[in-house]
Amino acid sequence: MHSIVRFAAAARSVLAGAGTAEERWAEIARLVPALLGDPELRACAAGWTDTHGNGYTTTTNLLLYEDPEYGFVINSLVKAQGGLVRPHDHAHTWTAYGVIEGTERIVRYRIVEGDRYAKQARLERTSDTIVQPGFVDLIGPYEAHAENAASGRTVAIIVRSHKTGRALHAIYDLESCKVERRPGPAQVPVLLE
């Protein structure tokens, strides 16, 4: 798919450049809207089935691309109407999360007691935003957040600095304050033509 190839080339160029990781990933996040608006990718996404499952325990990500040189990946997450995720982080990974279809509720948190390595942590909500297709959220390492389907089916394109499954993500329970650590969503390769 041409838009994925063009995006990957542009992202490699950014990652090869100067600047901090935060500066480079902010630039990559600015490239994501080109993917979100690509008619060919949007047509493919219309046929993808729910990858959310019943929450963090069975969520998968479609693996659209993995860069052989820099290791970044392009994923997709598809949620059926009402799809919710618990607050979580992506460990050391930078993530540019873009909505390609549907309306999502993006919630950000900060830890006010405990930490991601403890058995318990209390979170405080710092933002709560309803977003539409075209929105891109840049999520830094260890930042607690949740993306939930606000209405109808949602599809996200996710560009991550690292493939999930190699580092433990923290998953937070807002009521009990319990913290679980899991390797993140399983990766399901998708062949794009």
pLDDT in tens, 74-132: 999 999 888 888 999 999 999 999 999 999 999 999 999 999 999 999 999 999 999 99
Q: Is 80 exceeded by the pLDDT of residue 59?
A: no
How confident is the model at residue 51, as a pLDDT? 82
Give the chain's domain count. Answer: 1
Q: Which helix (H) or strand (E) holds 8?
A: helix 2-16
Range of the domain at 6: 2-189
Contacts (Cβ under 8 Å, ≥6 apart) of 13: none
How confident is the model at residue 58, as a pLDDT? 63
pTM of the model: 0.93
Q: What span, in angstroms and rounded, lies between the C-alpha atoms of 84 and 70?
A: 31
Would you state the structure tokens that stand for residue 181, as one six-digit string? 């650590």
CATH classification at residue 139: 2.60.120.10
How confident is the model at residue 1, as a pLDDT? 60
